[in-house]
């Protein structure tokens, strides 16, 4: 016997309404992402203006790069010198020591830069000494953060070096999650007095509030850094051609290229740190820094 199930007009209407709501939610999410990317790009450009206004902010990435290089030479060179070619267990501990030191150095000078960037946002005239003093006051929490990062980094490195695809996938996923959770850890340490657990919680919550702008800022900083690098490499190539492709021209081009790459790294680091500080200040204080009038922070929220 043929049985037919009739769907009432009300049921059909409700189904259509549900589908439309779902499509609207998807469209809203896409528009939110686009808005975040647009905000992030404007954030990067205004951060560039901040660096022009206060070029002393670029001192901190330069010192961090120099200190990190010296630290690596001392640790790795010292390990080989003390133990000889058969380092044994010492070389197994070396990666952890490297992670710990480099993470602390990077966080310390980032903290100094963020403190001074916030001073600029509030209309004050910062000094490198003031930024370093602020970072030194928070050396304990910064070291704890570096210690946790070193443990996590060592574990992730061990997983990546296995032949197990599942372990490598787990390493990748956890690495992304860790980057999200710790994105705002340093400014939380510098500007707030909270426990270690609260530091990570507040960092993760701030990232959730500003994830679209954070992605856009990273994109903008990347584009600006690439353009800066390409312009510098073009100068290196031009120098090589002007000198007739001689050995002297090759040496000169290599020197220019190395200087450009180092400058691009330091410039990109300073630019991204300023942008991150601006996002953090708005997300936590609810006020847009005066230097970022072109940025629509409305989607960042508090």
pLDDT in the model for residue 254? 81
Q: Could you tell me if 216 and 36 are in contact, meaning their C-beta atoms sit under 8 angstroms apart?
A: yes
Q: Is residue 203 part of a domain?
A: yes
Q: What's the whole-number mean pLDDT along residues 59-77?
A: 88
Q: What's the whole-number mean pLDDT along residues 265-291?
A: 84
Q: Which residue has the higher pLDDT, 246 or 264?
A: 264
* Percentage of residues in the chain having pLDDT higher than 70: 75
Q: What's the whole-number mean pLDDT along residues 43-56?
A: 85
Token pair 């847009």 is found at: 288
pLDDT tens, position by position, 237-260: 787 777 766 677 777 778 888 888
Q: Is residue 107 part of a domain?
A: yes
Q: 294: which DSSP letter?
A: T
Residue 60 is part of which domain span?
A: 38-292
* 301: pLDDT strictly greater than 90: no
Q: Is residue 15 part of a domain?
A: no
pLDDT in the model for residue 22? 47
Q: Is residue 236 part of a domain?
A: yes
Query: Which of 28-42, 106-120, 140-154, 159-173 has the least mean pLDDT?
Result: 28-42
Q: What's the whole-number mean pLDDT along residues 289-297?
A: 75
Q: Is residue 210 part of a domain?
A: yes
Q: Is residue 100 part of a domain?
A: yes
Q: Is residue 166 part of a domain?
A: yes
Q: Is residue 225 part of a domain?
A: yes
- Domains in the chain: how many in total? 1
pLDDT in the model for residue 134? 94
pLDDT in the model for residue 173? 86
d(CA 269, CA 261): 12
Give me the DSSP letters along 15-45: HHHHHHHHHHHHHHHHHHHHHHHHHHHHHHH
Show the CA angle centred on residue 261, arms to residues 244 and 258, nearest 5°. Answer: 45
């Amino acid at each position: 016997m043929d049985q037919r199930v009739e769907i009432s007009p009300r049921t059909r209407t409700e189904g259509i309404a549900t589908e439309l709501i779902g499509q609207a939610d998807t469209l809203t999410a896409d528009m939110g992402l686009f808005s975040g990317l647009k905000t992030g790009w404007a954030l990067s450009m205004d951060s560039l203006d901040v660096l022009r206004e206060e070029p002393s902010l670029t001192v901190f990435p330069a010192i961090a790069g120099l200190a990190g290089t010296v630290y690596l030479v001392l640790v790795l060179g010292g390990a080989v010198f003390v133990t000889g070619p058969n380092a044994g267990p010492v070389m197994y501990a070396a990666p952890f020591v490297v992670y710990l030191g480099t993470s602390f150095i990077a966080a310390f000078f980032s903290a100094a830069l963020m403190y001074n960037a916030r001073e600029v946002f509030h209309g004050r005239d910062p000094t490198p000494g003031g930024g370093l003093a602020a970072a030194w006051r928070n050396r304990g929490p910064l070291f704890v953060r570096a210690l946790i990062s070193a443990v996590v980094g060592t574990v992730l490195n061990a997983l990546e070096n296995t032949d197990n695809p599942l372990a490598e996938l787990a390493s990748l996923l956890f690495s992304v999650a860790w980057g999200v959770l710790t994105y705002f850890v340093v400014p939380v340490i510098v500007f707030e007095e909270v426990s270690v657990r609260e530091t990570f919680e507040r960092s993760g919550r701030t990232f959730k509030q500003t994830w679209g702008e954070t992605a856009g800022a990273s994109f903008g900083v990347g584009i600006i850094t690439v353009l800066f690098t390409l312009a510098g490499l073009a100068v290196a190539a031009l120098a090589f051609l002007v000198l007739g492709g001689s050995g002297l021209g090759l040496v000169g081009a290599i020197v220019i290229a190395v200087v450009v790459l180092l400058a691009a790294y330091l410039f990109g680091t300073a630019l991204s740190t300023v942008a991150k500080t601006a996002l953090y200040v708005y997300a936590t204080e609810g006020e847009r820094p005066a230097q970022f009038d072109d940025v629509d922070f409305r989607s960042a929220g508090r």
